[in-house]
């Protein structure tokens, strides 16, 4: 199955995974925060349809994305998820999940990288690397380079590939580097068009 078919399968999944307790932020008073954001459904279904068990996320924020990805895990006992952020605002809510580990620190910092690496066995290949942190060309490119080599993920998903000129430039470069393996799934994933969502079937070139 090619990458587009994989993503369409996740987008069209009939299984309704309950995401009612997975919010974009802790601010629940505004109407936009009373339910999970639309693309969360795609993330949960992607994890479910691909039977993913190991995930690394860069950019925890309030923990919404890592929680919905965890919702898609079929066997929680055999899964391991790591999320990284400079802020610890999600630490308390994520502490209730035995299979989610949060690393607090600069994702590009050496100590943070060592902490993430130490959580896994010597021979490491994770199923998914999800990057949704500082949406600039340099930061995101370095995250891909560092964690792509460190984690050897099967898939990389990038949020906000259309957000600004730097991210548009980076995504264009990635599509050239990974022809037929870098796909803009903004519409498929129901992501806001001005933000954008991209997926790479990662293989070292």
Q: How far is CA 18 from the centre of its chain?
A: 19
Strand pairing class (155-159; 197-201): antiparallel
Collect the ranges in the chain with pLDDT lower than 70: 14-15, 24-36, 122-123, 204-205
Determine the pLDDT at residue 125: 80
* Structural domains of the chain in order of their starting residue, each with its CATH number: 3-201 (3.40.50.150)
Tens digit of each residue's pLDDT (9 = 90 or more) over 69-97: 999 999 999 999 999 999 999 999 999 99
How far CA 101 is from CA of 35, 39, 72, 78, in Å, comes to 25, 23, 17, 14
Determine the pLDDT at residue 33: 47
**Predicted model pTM:** 0.92
Determine the pLDDT at residue 15: 62
The burial of 152, by beta-carbon neighbours within 10 Å (0-12 exposed, 13-18 middle, 19 or more buried), is given as middle
């Amino acid at each position: 199955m090619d990458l587009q078919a994989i993503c369409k399968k996740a987008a069209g999944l009939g299984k309704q995974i309950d995401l009612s307790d997975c919010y974009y932020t802790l601010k629940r008073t505004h109407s936009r925060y009373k339910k999970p954001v639309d693309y969360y459904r795609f993330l949960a279904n992607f994890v479910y349809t691909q039977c993913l068990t190991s995930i690394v996320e860069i950019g925890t924020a309030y923990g919404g994305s890592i929680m919905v990805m965890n919702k898609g895990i079929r066997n929680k006992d055999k899964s391991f998820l790591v999320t990284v952020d400079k802020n610890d605002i999600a630490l308390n809510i994520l502490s209730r999940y035995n299979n989610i580990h949060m690393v607090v620190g600069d994702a590009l910092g050496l100590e943070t990288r060592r902490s993430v690496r130490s959580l896994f066995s010597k021979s490491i290949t994770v199923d998914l690397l999800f990057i949704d942190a500082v949406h600039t060309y340099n930061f995101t490119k370095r995250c891909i380079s560092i964690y792509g080599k460190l984690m050897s993920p099967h898939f990389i998903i990038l949020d906000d590939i259309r957000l600004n000129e730097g991210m548009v430039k980076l995504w264009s470069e990635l599509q050239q580097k990974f022809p037929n393996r870098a796909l803009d799934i903004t519409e498929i994933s129901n992501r806001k068009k001005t933000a954008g969502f991209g997926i790479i079937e990662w293989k070292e070139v």
